Structure 1
Amino acid sequence: MPATTFNALRRYAVIGLLACAASWAPWVSAQPAPTPVVVMNSLPIDGPASYTVFDEAKRGPAFQTGAEPTRIVELSFGLDLDAIPTTATLSLYRLEDPSNFPTGAALASTTLNMIGGGSAVSTTVHTYSAADLGAIATTTLQAGQKYALIMSNSSAPTGITNDDLTENAFTYGGGFSAVLNGNIGQFSNAQGWDQNNGTLAFSMTVVPFAEPVPPTATLVCTPTELLATAGQVATCTVTLSAPSTTDTPINLTLPATNPGFTTTCTSPLVIPANATQATCTITAVANTTPNAPDVIADIAIAPPTTPDAYTVEGPAAQITIRSNAVVPPGTATPVPTLGTVGLVSLVSVMGLLGLRRSRKAA
């Protein structure tokens, strides 16, 4: 193939690759966000009545999540409001096996603002976005876990619309399912939880959400051996597996203070935003003492102050500063001797050699 033809084909190939790359990049960046899924729904509801909730009377739906972690992006409640306006507290609880009742404190709570019509029969569906739900929307619902959303109200009575005749039931999607029939509530000055019949007028929309995996932090010091002379330096590098948009402080377990070295390592060692590395040094101090012992400097990454800021990976580092056994100037160096037996042997050998030489000369 002529050189000109080959070069032309090569240029076309490069242009084609660049075009593919240019078309691929927007496609990758334009991948759609996770699709919201309605995972619980009992709206609309037939034959409505209402449960009144207040400080000592709390009610809400119970459910079990699907096969992947999710976060709530929208909730809708059927509410009968007597006051205008009023507020209610919505709390997210984890349910305990085998009772299927809340255990411990709420995982998250938020205050919901509601506008009523001033009539006990003014049933209205109120829908709340992730922005309205506050901490509840930023709490991850783990896969295969039981939860409850409980409404309470201290500002004015709030009626949660329900169907005691079970003419309408929940439908489930996204792998979600029922924990128990009806709903759960708490009465009698918060002394216990009860299961109640009736289907609450309620809808919940979620999106898949994978908890971010914290970056790993590793520590490497090089070289790992120094001589006890001036200018011997080991550089210790802390590396994150992925950069952060903010500064990342890395806690260090620092070497014990020793006159055999100095160090610039401090705890925390800060890795700047959008960077993956930070360094510090361990410098040997000159030592001219004969037969001085080696000095060991141990340094390691400690767990983060903020949970999940990073995970520690790899071993700790150890730098050994070897004694150079330098003899101080002006110190007399003893001359090796043979001892009495060696000296007599040497004289005897020299005498024999001299006698032999004299005989040959004769």
Structure 2
Amino acid sequence: MPDSLREVWAGPRGELSQIEFHTHVAPSRDGLAEAAESWLAGQSSVIERLRIRATQIGSEGSAVVVIHGGPGTGKLRVAQWIHRCGNRSTRPLLVLDADDPTLHSQLDRVIATLTSGLASGASAPGTVALRNFERADEPAIRRLLEILGSQGVELVCALLLITKRNPDQLRDTSLLHAELLARAGNSVVSVPAVRHRGGDVAELARQFAEEAARRYDKSIRGISPQALAKLEAHDFPGNVRELQFIVEQAILRSSGDWVTGECFLGLDDGAAVHTTGESELVIRLPGSSLREIEVQALQLALKLSSGRIVRASELLGITRHALRRKLEKFGLNELRAPSNNPSTQSL
């Protein structure tokens, strides 16, 4: 499976920009299923169609592609797949976020690299992916259109617009949104929710279990049939991201050769772990301190549990008292559910 690397990207004059940088080895045409990101693994007809569609769009070299789907479905993984399958895969994939307050300056650096960097032979991005495109303001969209229009006859950079909203809804946002979406034409990819992926849950869970076991140096033979049945009965409103998080926590709780149903807390009572586009743990390397990583993990657990101390402590695998001490230590008490609502604190 291809590796993914995240680091800072040097702009045309050497400035460091907090842009995610991904490098990949392009998959062979005969081994796409084996080369898939783990989030896109599975044998269901919908995920197979998605892989074929993403491969086709990447091979065609579309200038603008729209990738839409619910939170946690794997839209960024599809963007990585499309980038790998195209003739721009030898150049960087730059991932930006419309919610980032420095987005405009980052886009300015991309434009400067495309206009002056190419003439000097400097390395330029092959693909720019923008997350949360539905929240991009008009100045940002003007810069995106400039990226498309600043390259002369030869198109050297593609735009992947990642959004939670359907493109038909986005066209009514503004004329500039509609203009940029029109550049995509039929190059639109819809990423399905887990509940539409048939029997993919078991295969996804096994892959996530293997990855987590390697990461945490745990000797795990696999997930028991009873535990898999419990996972397959769950609705997963947070989609693949929720499944990955739950499996990883189960690996951390496991003490034997097999991950059993008891390791999956919160699934018996139907209390689903809800995730949103914002509830994602992103550790940027190099430079992330242990404190920063711990704070992000605490913030993520509290978001997933809606601020409920008991639920958050279960997700983190620590006691309630330990969690309270950490919240006090890092000044995160405001993320707890209101204490005057007993029903939220008891869960």
The two structures have a TM-score, normalised by structure 1, of: 0.25
More helix by share: 2
More strand by share: 1
Q: Whose Rg is larger? A: 1
